[in-house]
Amino acid sequence: MTDPLLQIRDLHVGYGGIRAVKGIHLDIAPGELVALIGNNGAGKTTTLKTLAGLLKPNSGEIRYDGNSLNGVAAHQRVSMGLALVPEGRGIFAHLSVSENLLMGAYSRGNSDEIAADLTRMYALFPRLHERKQQLAGTLSGGEQQMVAMARALMSRPRLLMLDEPSMGLAPLMVKNIFQTVRDISAQGMSILLVEQNAKLALQVASRGYVMESGAIALSGTSKELLESATVQRAYLGD
């Protein structure tokens, strides 16, 4: 069996007196697309921020590619191959599309490789090529989501973490974004997808975890979770 690219063991995270994550265990294999679903306030975003190094865990361990991430700074994690597309996108509104994408490559030094990756991003997101000189803050919500994803991919991650990529988007744009997620996954990238649209997330993922009140309540293959009466009742509206 292939060793996990990411291992989370007994992770506890709290802030402001709130115990947001309560002893979770989670694995992601190389090249695997895993969904983390749950209601608002379940601890999903806190988990991603902790993986990215933006929050410090109270206890537990995060191992990436066999190495502990405890004490590793956020910028170092980007250089190691972890990239977060945050909830709300977090783009640089007053920079152009191309400048936003180049910011994703700030930790890299090879200008030829960066230029080649920029070309690949424009092939993956043709709409961004059309708007590459436009200020990112003037784009639609879906286009801004594309910018955020492309910017993260410019760091050449091995693990891409997506936090609510469908939030606030029109149905057609959601379809486009999730097709891109499928395409990226098909190229062999590991993806951890946090998404409130449980059905959509489980349809693109191979496995999933259900998070409730800071803990993992259920886990299994996407097929198992889609067929679970508990998941259907709580998250699928059935």
Domain boundary among 156, 172, 189: 156
Do both 65 and 183 map to the same domain? yes
- Please indicate, yes or no, whether residues 196 and 129 belong to a single structural domain of this protein: no
Q: Let me know whether 172 and 114 are in one domain.
A: no
Q: Is residue 175 part of a domain?
A: yes
- Amino acid identity for residue 148 in this structure: A
Identify whether residues 152 and 119 lie together within a single domain. Answer: yes
CATH number for position 75 = 3.40.50.300
Q: Which domain holds residue 122?
A: 91-156
Q: Is residue 196 within 8 Å of residue 164, measured between CB atoms?
A: yes
On whether both 173 and 130 belong to a single domain, the answer is no
Reading the chain (238 residues) residue by residue, the pLDDT tens digits are: 578 999 999 999 998 888 999 999 999 999 999 999 998 889 999 999 999 999 999 999 999 999 999 899 999 999 999 999 988 888 999 999 999 999 999 877 788 899 999 999 999 999 999 999 999 999 998 999 999 999 999 999 999 999 999 888 889 889 989 999 999 999 999 999 999 889 999 999 999 999 999 999 999 999 999 999 988 888 876 5
Q: What is the pLDDT of residue 75?
A: 92
Whether 136 and 71 map to the same domain: the answer is no
pLDDT digits (tens, 9 = 90+) for 132-181: 999 999 999 899 999 999 999 999 999 999 999 988 888 988 998 999 99
Give yes or no: residues 165 and 149 share one domain. no
Whether residue 97 is found in the same domain as residue 119: yes
Whether residues 128 and 163 share a domain: the answer is no
- pTM of the entire predicted model: 0.93
Quote the number of domains for the chain. Answer: 2
Domain end: 156, 174, 198, which one? 156
Distance separating alpha carbons of residues 111 and 230, to the nearest angstrom: 51
Please report whether residue 131 resides in a domain: yes
pLDDT at 238: 56
Instruction: Report the residue count for the chain.
Output: 238
Of the candidates 76, 48, 82, the one whose C-alpha atom is nearest the C-alpha of residue 64 is 82
In a domain, 86, yes or no: no
The burial of 99, by beta-carbon neighbours within 10 Å (0-12 exposed, 13-18 middle, 19 or more buried), is given as middle
Residue 154, pLDDT score: 94
Last residue of a domain, which of 156, 183, 211?
156
> Is 220 inside any structural domain?
yes
In a domain, 5, yes or no: yes
Q: Indicate whether 110 and 144 sit together in one domain.
A: yes
Does residue 21 form part of some domain? yes
Q: Write the CB contacts of 178 (distance below 8 Å, at least 6 apart in sequence).
A: 165, 166, 200, 204
User: Residues 33, 56: one domain?
Assistant: yes
CB within 8 A of 71, min separation 6: which ones? none
116 plus 132 within the same structural domain: yes
